[in-house]
């Protein structure tokens, strides 16, 4: 597929603090430097797409409306940076859904919707499942050690980053080498 490259982004533990089943906009706290790092990606020509599992919906911990309220607060805190697309899976871990990470369904959906060149794209997340999802779609992967990231010392990521800012530095350098 030809098109523009993207950085696919996990949400909780990657862009914002992990609070476990975030259902309240008051609990949204973007990590320091994330907005500026996203601006650098945008300036380099990357589409920005959030790919997030939200099994709390499927488990009945919170509603889809509550999820959307949290997402709106995240967008407010990231402004003026615009996210090109947000894809979420409400499916439970045992559902077998092709959209739920580590399955790459949401990435393929976003690639079709936004004309993404997967061969020039990246996935940034804080869990092994994020790395597996990105790798299955042919993306280069970056594990951030925020959120749950430090719990995966033997992760299959192409690169490990202390935080999102360091992840973006590596992505920009890697993309320049292409």
pLDDT of 1-55, one tens digit each? 479 999 999 999 999 999 999 999 999 999 999 999 999 999 999 999 999 999 9
pLDDT tens, position by position, 40-62: 999 999 999 999 999 999 999 99
**In the numeric block, which tokens belong to residue 76?**
């407010």
Q: Is 163 a catalytic residue?
A: no
pLDDT at 163: 97
> Measured between alpha carbons, how far is 104 from 101 in angstroms, rounded to an integer?
6
> Which residue matches tokens 């407010």?
76
pLDDT at 105: 98
Please report the domains of the chain, with CATH numbers, ordered by start residue: 6-177 (3.40.50.1000)
Which residue among the candidates 12, 91, 126, 130 is catalytic per the annotation?
12
Cβ-based burial of 137 (10 A; exposed 0-12, middle 13-18, buried ≥19): buried
**In the numeric block, which tokens belong to residue 114?**
């936004």
Which residue among the candidates 10, 91, 126, 130 is catalytic per the annotation?
10
Q: Is 12 a catalytic residue?
A: yes
> Measured between alpha carbons, how far is 168 from 126 in angstroms, rounded to an integer?
14
Closest by CA position to 135, among listed 118, 111, 151: 118
**Residue 68 banded pLDDT, cuts 50, 70, 90:** very high
């Amino acid at each position: 597929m030809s098109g523009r490259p993207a950085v696919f982004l996990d949400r909780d533990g990657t862009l914002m603090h992990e609070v476990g089943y975030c259902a309240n906009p008051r609990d949204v706290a973007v990590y320091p430097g994330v907005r500026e790092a996203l601006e650098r990606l945008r300036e380099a020509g990357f589409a920005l797409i959030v790919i997030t599992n939200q099994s709390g919906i499927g488990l009945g911990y919170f509603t889809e409306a509550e999820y959307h309220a949290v997402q709106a607060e995240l967008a407010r805190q990231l402004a003026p940076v615009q996210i090109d697309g947000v894809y979420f899976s409400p499916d439970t871990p045992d559902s077998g859904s092709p959209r739920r990470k580590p399955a790459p369904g949401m990435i393929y959906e976003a690639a079709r919707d936004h004309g993404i060149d997967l061969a020039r794209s990246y996935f940034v997340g804080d869990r092994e499942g994020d790395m597996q999802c990105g790798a299955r779609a042919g993306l280069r992967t970056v594990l951030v050690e925020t959120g749950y990231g430090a719990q995966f010392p033997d992760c299959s990521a192409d690169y490990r980053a202390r935080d999102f800012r360091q992840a973006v530095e590596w992505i920009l350098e890697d993309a320049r080498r292409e």
